[in-house]
Structure 1
Amino acid sequence: MRSLRDFAAGVGFFLQGFGWVARNGRWWAFGLIPALIAFAVYVVALILLGRHATDVADLLTPFADTWGWRKLFRTLVGIALFLGGLALAVLTFAALTLAIGEPFYERLSAAADPLEQEIEQPWWRTLPRSIRDSLVTLCYVLLFTVPLFVLGFVPVVGQTVVPVLGAAVSGFFLTVELTTIALERRGIARKERFRLLRANLPVALGFGVAVFLLFLVPFVAVVAMPAAVAGAALLIRTRVSPPPTP
């Protein structure tokens, strides 16, 4: 029961993020700019992938040249490639948006989560580290999602258990990305950030799964991005709240 309450509390922090940006409309308006840029990049990339998915499938499946049903097989492979690209876009949208708009989102996070003692560093130092941390997080994501993608083709399990596990994995790593700014402002390094979120796993999952499901809806991710950053800051301030590191 406690885990369910914590999961619901995590969802509640995302909703609190919407409430915060509703009360601070200028932050929401400016937060749309980086999100729109990232959204445009992904739209172009997905359109190109959709147009050439079958060609890529042909290159990846030369062993099927002699199969009588090779067209159907390669069409299915092409669909799987596009769906995989779409899932990857959802998982990396937050990271790319935060990288594009890092100076702004740092200010948004600071407004939602004011600190008496803050570890301040110039953005040209934090940006390379944030990109490196995002790449490390992406490797962890692929470590989980690639096996889940393969299991998705298993009857029954692929249509029931795998989507739930996929949403949980994606949600946790979205929380990792979105809480990065609030935790970096406290001087918390990547390994410690993972440890803190694992220690508060139900809350982290509730927040991240809610974000993940909403980000699946086209363009909604753009509108919800400022609220997700604000909600992540409130989550850290209220539930995790590690002390600043000197």
Structure 2
Amino acid sequence: MTHLFSGPAALAAGFRLITTPGMKRFVLVPLLSNIVILSAFIWFVLGLLGGWVDSVVAMLPEWLSFMSWLLWPLALISILGFVVYGFNATTALIAAPFNGLLAEKIEHKLRNGQVSFPDETLAEMAKRSLQRELQKQWFFLKRVLLLLIISFIPVINLLSPVLWFLFSVWMLSVQYMDYPMDNHKIDFHAMQRRLKQNWWHTVSFGLVCYLLMFVPFINLIFMPAAVAGATWLWVQQVSIHPDAALELPSGMKDI
């Protein structure tokens, strides 16, 4: 399979894996948190978008009034980027220990039990997952603040929608690919190096995640599927070596 299709293949495998016997109980908390928080963010954005764009248009000098038609798509992309970050940060903090446990169970299944994880209690795992999640969100937040500053600088802010989009794609890959790597206690900087070595798989996976977040109904069960899909990609590609060929796991040939 070419690198181009590694992202779609991973998510397809993820959706199938979360429905296999023994996995559903690990999906419940991420699924419920995803539904509640996503619904709240959609309601928030719909109320915010119209008023925000109207206020910006009203501030434009008369000689720039012709640009009002351009503000809607630019504002939409920028706000979507901010919403993706906010939604991702909120759900990840709530579901981090459960996502880590789900990734562990998925990897155990994919490797037919031929895998070992650090010996720790559930409480220790939950503490480790939350600490890692806070480190990850601090990493994201510094970049979000920079993007927000850029968004308010005239002329340069025309680039902000593109930057928000690229950031969102990369952030989603880092968010979900980190779970299986953290389970093996790969430190945060080593995790980033792995993703950069596998940059095409990383971008492909993040792009599909980004698109699926805006597909009705699919986005409601997106989070656990993304965790499972990221774990599948870790097992099949990232944990091996950067140039390894990506193949479907046994029993997944029909995905």
TM-score grouping bracket, smaller chain normalisation: 0.7 to 0.9
TM-score by length of 2: 0.72
1:27-42 matched pairs, under 5 angstroms:
27-42=26-41
Change (3 A) 1:227 1:151: same
Tell me, in whole angstroms, the C-alpha distance in 2 between the residues paired with 1:173 and 1:223. Answer: 19
- Secondary structure of the 1:187 match is coil
Give the Å deviation of 1:166.
Answer: 6.8
Residue number in structure 1 paired with 2:253? none
TM-score by length of 1: 0.74
Query: Which range is displaced more, 128-137 or 224-233?
Result: 128-137
Q: Does structure 1 conserve the Cα–Cα contact (< 8 Å) formed by 2:78 and 2:160?
A: no
The correspondence for 1:211, drawn from 209, 212, 216, is 209
Q: Does structure 1 conserve the Cα–Cα contact (< 8 Å) formed by 2:26 and 2:101?
A: no
Q: Does structure 2 conserve the Cα–Cα contact (< 8 Å) formed by 1:54 and 1:75?
A: no
Residue number in structure 1 paired with 2:189? 191
Give the Å deviation of 1:149.
Answer: 6.2
Change (3 A) 1:140 1:84: same
Q: Which residue identity lines up with residue 8 of structure 2 in the other structure?
A: V
Residue number in structure 2 paired with 1:231? 229
Q: Does structure 1 conserve the Cα–Cα contact (< 8 Å) formed by 2:12 and 2:229?
A: yes
Residue number in structure 2 paired with 1:159? none
Identity of aligned residues (%): 24
Give the Å deviation of 1:223.
Answer: 1.8
* Alignment of 1:134 onto 2:137: yes
Q: Does structure 1 conserve the Cα–Cα contact (< 8 Å) formed by 2:97 and 2:130?
A: no
* Alignment of 1:21 onto 2:18: yes
Give the Å deviation of 1:216.
Answer: 2.5
Give the Å deviation of 1:213.
Answer: 1.4
The CA deviation string for residues 56-91 of structure 1, in whole angstroms up to 9 with x for no partner, is 5278x3x63xx2775x75685466434421232234
The correspondence for 1:87, drawn from 77, 81, 87, is 81
Tell me, in whole angstroms, the C-alpha distance in 2 between the residues paired with 1:119 and 1:200. Answer: 28
The CA deviation string for residues 147-205 of structure 1, in whole angstroms up to 9 with x for no partner, is 8962489xxxxxxxx5xx87555323211011122111111222111100000111112
- Secondary structure of the 1:111 match is helix
Change (3 A) 1:228 1:149: farther
Tell me, in whole angstroms, the C-alpha distance in 2 between the residues paired with 1:91 and 1:219. Answer: 20
Q: Which residue identity lines up with residue 37 of structure 2 in the other structure?
A: A
Residue number in structure 1 paired with 2:118? 118
Tell me, in whole angstroms, the C-alpha distance in 2 between the residues paired with 1:84 and 1:168. Answer: 11
Query: Which range is displaced more, 31-40 or 144-153?
Result: 144-153
Residue number in structure 2 paired with 1:158? none
Unpaired runs of at least 5, structure 2: 109-114, 241-255
Tell me, in whole angstroms, the C-alpha distance in 2 between the residues paired with 1:119 and 1:6. Answer: 34
The correspondence for 2:9, drawn from 9, 12, 17, is 12
Equivalent residue pairs, number? 225
Q: Does structure 2 conserve the Cα–Cα contact (< 8 Å) formed by 1:35 and 1:222?
A: yes
Change (3 A) 1:141 1:194: farther
CA RMSD of aligned residues (A): 3.5
Unpaired runs of at least 5, structure 1: 154-161
Residue number in structure 2 paired with 1:53? 52
Give the Å deviation of 1:29.
Answer: 4.2
The CA deviation string for residues 33-52 of structure 1, in whole angstroms up to 9 with x for no partner, is 11012213312321331353
Residue number in structure 1 paired with 2:97? 103
Residue number in structure 1 paired with 2:176? 178
Q: Does structure 2 conserve the Cα–Cα contact (< 8 Å) formed by 1:119 and 1:186?
A: no
Query: Which range is displaced more, 208-217 or 136-145?
Result: 136-145
Tell me, in whole angstroms, the C-alpha distance in 2 between the residues paired with 1:13 and 1:172. Answer: 16
Q: Does structure 2 conserve the Cα–Cα contact (< 8 Å) formed by 1:99 and 1:131?
A: yes
